[in-house]
Amino acid sequence: MDPGYLKRNKCLEFVKKAYEMVNDPSTDSIISWGPNGDTFIVWNPSKCCTDLLPQYLGIRNFKKFEYYGFKMVESRQLEFACDDFVKDQPELLEKIGQRYKEMLYQNHGKRVETLVNRLKSCKTEKEGVLVSIEYFKKGEMKMRAKMDQFLAKEVERFMKTVAYERKIRGGEDLPKHVEDRLQLVCDSLDNLTNAAAADL
């Protein structure tokens, strides 16, 4: 069976379960549709990550949403949007799965075509090996750049969650053991930032 078809089905299964979660009136205090029905808002991020995401999707964060094309919306709340993920229009979800499949084919095809064309122009075996090494190094650099972007978004999301928790607690400090762990996280982020700067 076509691997792209399997990945499309996996994506479609995910967005259907996500739609069911957002559309369930009993979860509205935690997650619900935005006012226009073309976004969803996470009102209680911590409860969503510990209860709803594992129950509906078998995950504990929003990484996979971005993987399937969802994007964070500039908002006072944690809010996401994706083309064709729309309230009262579940029939549009098929388009998300198809778009994901086409994106996989397009990205993979371009990369392979580039490598094949360069290898064809090589005059010696050694030159071909060097071209292959360069190709895979560039791929590794791109993966690292994507990981950096992902980490930056995760940190932003994490800080929004902390800010939200403090807000609903009336500005009070979180429990000491939580504040201590937050400090450890901030220290780790400072170390990573300093290490990255030293590599430049």
Q: Is residue 69 part of a domain?
A: yes
Q: Is residue 190 part of a domain?
A: no
pLDDT band at residue 1 under the 50/70/90 scheme? very low
Ordered DSSP codes for 123-137: SSHHHHHHHHHHHHH
pLDDT in tens, 69-116: 999 998 888 999 999 999 999 999 999 999 988 887 776 666 667 777
Report the pLDDT value the prediction gives residue 81, as an integer from 0 to 100: 96
Question: What's the domain count of the chain?
Answer: 1
CA distances from 6 to 20, 74, 97, 103 (A): 21, 33, 10, 14
**Is the pTM for the entire model greater than 0.95?**
no
The residue whose two tokens read 């994506």 is: 11
Structural domain boundaries enclosing 59? 3-91
Instruction: Kindly give, in sequence order, each residue whose CB lies less than 8 Å from that of residue 15, ignoring residues fewer than 6 positions away.
Output: 68, 82, 85, 93, 96, 97
Q: Is residue 184 part of a domain?
A: no
CA distances from 29 to 39, 65, 70, 78, 106 (A): 16, 20, 21, 13, 40
Q: Average pLDDT for residues 172-182, to the nearest whole number?
A: 80
Q: Is residue 110 part of a domain?
A: no
* Whether the predicted pLDDT of 17 surpasses 90: yes
Q: Is residue 37 part of a domain?
A: yes
CATH number of the domain enclosing 27: 1.10.10.10
Contact indicator for 159, 72 with CB cutoff of 8 Å: no
pLDDT in tens, 104-126: 777 666 666 777 778 888 888 88
